[in-house]
Amino acid sequence: MRREFRFRDSMQLGNWTFKIFSDGFFRLDGGASFGIVPKPMWEKQIPADGRNRIRVALRCLLAEGHGRRVLIDTGIGDRWDAKQREIYGMDRRAGQLLTELGDAGISRESITDVVLTHLHFDHAGGACLDMASGMAPAFPRARWWLQRAHWEWARNPSERDQGSFRPDDFEALADTDRLELVEGNVEILPGLRVSPVGGHTPGMQIPEFHTEDGTLVFLADLIPSVAHIHLPWVAGFDLNPLLTLSEKRQLLSRAVEDDYLLVFQHDPDHEACRVTFQDGRFQARETLTLNQSE
Ligand SMILES: [Zn+2]
């Protein structure tokens, strides 16, 4: 049985405090989101609309601790015309993420670090703003953490995935001296490790906060929703689905063993869960509602 929890304001683990912020919702093709899984199976988990699209959350995580204020991913941003907003079923207010942060007393200037899991437009769309002087980083004082392998891929993607990248989302970061390109599994701040995975796109990185009170992992597109916990449920977007499968197995095995709290970026209904291995498969043991804005 799944139990429901709610953390009204924030959640503390060790010296880190976490809050969820939202850049709204959009919609993606349900078939593409579930790969080879037949629709009668996936639509029981996440229903499709009349155009076969599923609702997808655009969650970001704010982590404060050790004198740092860290934002994980930046949402989909505002640089979309009416036709694109309609195609992607965008359900968000203009500037939603920045407004939510501002309402919580968090200015753009106060963010010290941004960890970009990868540069797909629904993760990096809010990284840069269209200023009078051209594109500029939305968080002007932040250091920007990214895997070097992904940075290189995003600037020279394949024909298969080039539609997922918009160079205006990230090219302005190259003009700063605050782009931190890391290689491999690195502890970038005390307790915060970024773990590279390559099945979804080369050099995506999974932020993991390891504290004396437990571990919190932000799943990005490795496991986009509760439904994707089951190992064979891999999105058709993934460039290397067998690699995704083994990377999921590796992370979920650790998560069962050490009772990780797993945070979902895209699940429309659930913000986080813990997992168990039961009846021959990984399953959500508890789902949690953090302080998701209503
Ligand atoms: Zn992605």
The pTM of the full predicted model, rounded to 2 decimals, is: 0.95
3-state helix, strand, coil in the chain (%, to 5): 25, 35, 40
Centroid of ligand 1 to alpha carbon of 172 (angstroms): 20
10 Å CB burial of residue 211 (0-12, 13-18, 19+) is middle
CA distance 86 to 223: 26
B/e letters for 159-182, b = 16+ CB within 10 Å, e = fewer, are eebeebbbebbbebbeeeeebbeb
Centroid of ligand 1 to alpha carbon of 1 (angstroms): 30
Q: What is the pLDDT of residues 202-214, one digit of tens each?
A: 999 999 999 999 9
CA distance 2 to 286: 5
- What are 246's two structure tokens? 């083994």
Centroid of ligand 1 to alpha carbon of 125 (angstroms): 12
Centroid of ligand 1 to alpha carbon of 177 (angstroms): 26
Arithmetic mean of pLDDT, 125-131: 97
Q: What is the pLDDT of residues 213-223, one digit of tens each?
A: 999 999 999 99
Centroid of ligand 1 to alpha carbon of 170 (angstroms): 15
**CA-to-CA dists, residue 130 to 57, 58, 75, 172, angstroms:** 24, 20, 15, 10
Centroid of ligand 1 to alpha carbon of 221 (angstroms): 5
Domains with residue ranges and CATH for the chain: 4-289 (3.60.15.10)
CA distance 211 to 271: 20
Amino acid letter for position 215: T
Centroid of ligand 1 to alpha carbon of 210 (angstroms): 24
**pLDDT reported for residue 286:** 83
Q: By C-alpha distance, which of 138, 12, 135 is closest to 75?
A: 138
Instruction: State the pLDDT confidence band at 288, using cuts at 50, 70 and 90.
Output: confident
Centroid of ligand 1 to alpha carbon of 165 (angstroms): 9
Centroid of ligand 1 to alpha carbon of 38 (angstroms): 21
Centroid of ligand 1 to alpha carbon of 212 (angstroms): 30
| DSSP characters over 170-205 | TGGGGGSS-EEEE-SSEEEETTEEEEEE-SSSTTEE
